[in-house]
Chains A and B, each alone.
Chain A
Amino acid sequence: MANPATLASTFAAKQPVHDRLDDGPHGPRPKRSFSRANIFLYGTLALVSIYYLLPLYVMLVTSVKGMPEIRMGNVFAPPMEVTFEPWVKAWAEACTGVNCDGLSRGFWNSVRILIPSVLLSITIALISGYALSKWKFKGSETFFTILIIGAFIPYQVMLYPIVIMLRDTGGFLTDIWQATCGVFTSAEGSCRGRIQLFGSLSGLVIVHSIFGMPILVLLFRNYFASIPDELFKAARVDGAGFWGILFRIMLPMSMPILVVAMILQVTGIWNDFLFGVVYTRAEQYPMTVQLNNIVNSVQGVKEYNVNMAATLLTGLVPLTIYFFSGKLFVRGIAAGAVKG
């Protein structure tokens, strides 16, 4: 049967594939533990591991060295004297332009962006995915296909139209607010406020929800599709409606996928640079943007140790999630890989 959403199911197939990682290896077993083939195998893996671990190591050692030691010139050498001053400086004193209050501002901006973005995007995607899998109607699959194709469009194509949409929606909401607010309050001047979406955190939250939607909707749609239809039918016979089935039946079964979605969104939004640069103003820049401004600023003497401390600080949130969530992270990125 010609299904317009087959594009999506291609990726749907990938989800169970990733659970196979737990299956255990299928390849041939190496014969003896100290055979030449085995030494070659583990040697190669160890060597490659060095390449992958090197940057983490370099970040760490550089960030606890003093500048004189760094100028002696070996990024790989372990620190002779450990100092945490670069960390303090990166967090509280590093400068971007005229502001010298360190990365902490970017960190808190990122937190302020992250929490509502994650909640909003997951809520919308959860409801959409549920509606798309269990309450199909004529045209619903077509909309979904457009959404999934949208995931492949380079962001640059949609950046400017979204600027306009945010600005105009903000203006429109302001007009409504100013027209209706007098009804609720009589205080002089309390209706002057403007609603700004472009160049504000709320605008960025909307943008993150928009661009997170294809992958998250796909994730939830496929998950709900894997829940037997009979369960859904039984609930309908039992008199539960759209929201009743979602909250009473589906949601209690969705914990694993919610965690996966959460991991996916937290890492994705935390690591975002492009949207942060385009849709916010300097004082609201997320951590990544601020980090880049600190490190790549041309003024003053380069303080490599502070830079690396700042870099490591920025990477700390996704790294913590990665090391604690393990296999769930793999499932998350497997799904998130579509985002490209």
Chain B
Amino acid sequence: MAVAEEAGHARRSSPRADRKPFRLFHNLMPKIALIPMIATALVVFLGGTLWTVVYSFTSSGLLPRRNWVGLDQYERLWSSAKWIVSIQNLALYGIFSLVFTLVIGFTLAALLDRKIRFEDTFRTIFLYPFALSFIVTGLVWQWILNPDFGVQGVVRSMGWESFTFNPLNDPDIVMFGLLIAGLWQGTGLIMCIMLAGLRGIDEDIWKASRVDGIPTWKTYVRIIIPMMRPVFVTAVVLIASGIIKLYDLVVAQTSGGPGISSEVPAKYVMQTMFGGQNLGQGFAASTMMLLSVVIILVPWAYLEFGRRKRG
């Protein structure tokens, strides 16, 4: 062995290669390198969540305080008209958003998957809104749906004087005004995921169904969609977790109005926490949001990993 390498060895070699090192200090560097990640996971995500849940049982107002009031905050929450409206709005928006996003996303993907020309162009057009923020989305659609100059005004000026489409000022349909904007922003992503799912299906399936003489629509409904179950599950989880976080869009497009008719839970949390000096109420409301996520995620995780364990 060369002298130089001997020297190199001597400098670098661990002093006790024959002794089993103490577990924590063995390969110490990766552990040090992971400290930011571990701290984020444990302190911020786990610790922060527990903190909020714990303080939702206090009467904290301007500052967090540990005077326990049991479920008082939750009782107040569920007797607040604004919260009830928020929940109803979210449910309404959620159901329609989920159904329409899946249907539009899949349909567009299926159309794009039919060996068409300009596929890239169409894909670029359908996806670009996803690059924009909800603030931009909300403001554009606020302008397009403007009763005087937007869609309603244009149709009326063409002669149909009685035409009414004013979602942003009509408490009954304001959530649909938000839905139009939300779908515009988010369907492109789901289309992309669906398209990838369609591309993942063996081309021989199509050949087989052609040989068997099965009509195209039937192939989609009976064969392709069932095969794409995992893709749909992922899409549903993505859409659902996006719906619960709905906030920026409402702030930009309607500010919760008219009145409180387009309030959503996330906005309620923000107002009570940072606007209303009513922290305990905000904590209780955000804990309810957490609970709804758990209700969505747990069955999914159970299905997903239960099946994996069995299979």
Chain A residues near B (Cβ < 8 Å) = 2, 6-7, 10-11, 14, 17-18, 20-21, 23-30, 41-42, 44-45, 48-49, 51-56, 58-59, 62, 70-71, 73-76, 124, 127-128, 130-132, 135, 137-138, 140, 143-144, 146-147, 149-150, 152-162, 164-165, 210, 213, 217, 239, 241-243, 267, 270-274, 277-278, 288-289, 291-292, 295-296, 304, 307-308, 311, 314-315, 318-319, 321-323, 326, 329-330, 333-334, 337-338, 340
Contacts and interface: CB of A to CB of B under 8 A. Distances in A.
Interface of B: 12, 23, 27, 29-31, 33-34, 36-38, 40-49, 51-53, 64, 108, 110-116, 119, 122, 124-137, 139-144, 146, 148-151, 153-154, 157, 184, 188-189, 192-193, 195-201, 203, 206, 210, 216, 231, 234, 238, 241-242, 244-245, 247-248, 251-252, 255, 266, 269-270, 273-274, 279, 282-283, 285-287, 289-290, 293, 297, 301, 304-305, 308-309
Contact of A150 (B45, B51, B122): B45
A150 B41 contact: yes
A329 B128 CA distance: 10
Given A58-B140, A154-B286, A288 B29 contact: no
24 contacts: A7-B301, A14-B193, A17-B196, A25-B113, A41-B116, A52-B184, A55-B144, A59-B143, A62-B143, A74-B153, A143-B41, A147-B40, A153-B293, A159-B269, A159-B286, A161-B48, A213-B36, A217-B37, A242-B30, A274-B247, A288-B248, A315-B132, A321-B131, A340-B238
A51 B129 CA distance: 11
B153 A73 contact: yes
A319 B114 contact: no
Closest 3 CB pairs of A and B: A150-B45, A271-B133, A161-B48
B114 A30 contact: yes
A159 B201 CA distance: 42
Given A147-B37, A292-B251, A319 B48 contact: no
Contact of A52 (B125, B142, B270): B125
Nearest to B141: A55
A158 B44 contact: yes
B21 to A, nearest CB: 13
Contacts, number: 317
A27 B143 contact: no
Contacts of B206: 26-28
Given A156-B286, A158-B45, A288-B248, 6 more contacts: A55-B129, A150-B44, A157-B52, A157-B286, A162-B48, A314-B136
A135 B131 CA distance: 35
A158 B255 contact: no
Count chain A CB atoms within 10 A of each CB in B110, B131, B199, B282 and give the residue with the most: B131
B28 to A, nearest CB: 9
A130 B274 CA distance: 38
A156 B266 contact: yes
Contacts of B245: 154-155, 340
Contacts of A326: 124
B126 A52 contact: yes
Contact of B29 (A10, A152, A243, A318): A243
B273 A319 contact: no
Contacts of B30: 131, 135, 137, 140, 242
Given A137-B27, A243-B29, A73 B133 contact: no
A124 B140 contact: no
B158 to A, nearest CB: 9
A23 B141 CA distance: 35
A158 B266 CA distance: 12
Contact of A273 (B31, B135, B141): B135
A11 B196 CA distance: 13
A340 B241 contact: yes
B192 A146 contact: no
Contacts of A23: 199
A333 B34 contact: no
B290 A153 contact: yes
A279 to B, nearest CB: 11
Contacts of B36: 124, 128, 213
Contacts of A159: 269, 273, 286
B111 A41 contact: yes
A20 B199 CA distance: 6
A128 to B, nearest CB: 4
A288 B189 CA distance: 22
Contact of A127 (B33, B130, B157): B33
B131 A318 contact: yes
B196 A21 contact: yes
A295 B139 contact: yes
A143 B308 CA distance: 21
Nearest to A308: B143
B25 to A, nearest CB: 11
A52 B104 CA distance: 12
B130 A157 contact: no
B290 to A, nearest CB: 5
Contacts of B142: 295
B115 to A, nearest CB: 4
Contact of B149 (A28, A75, A138, A273): A75
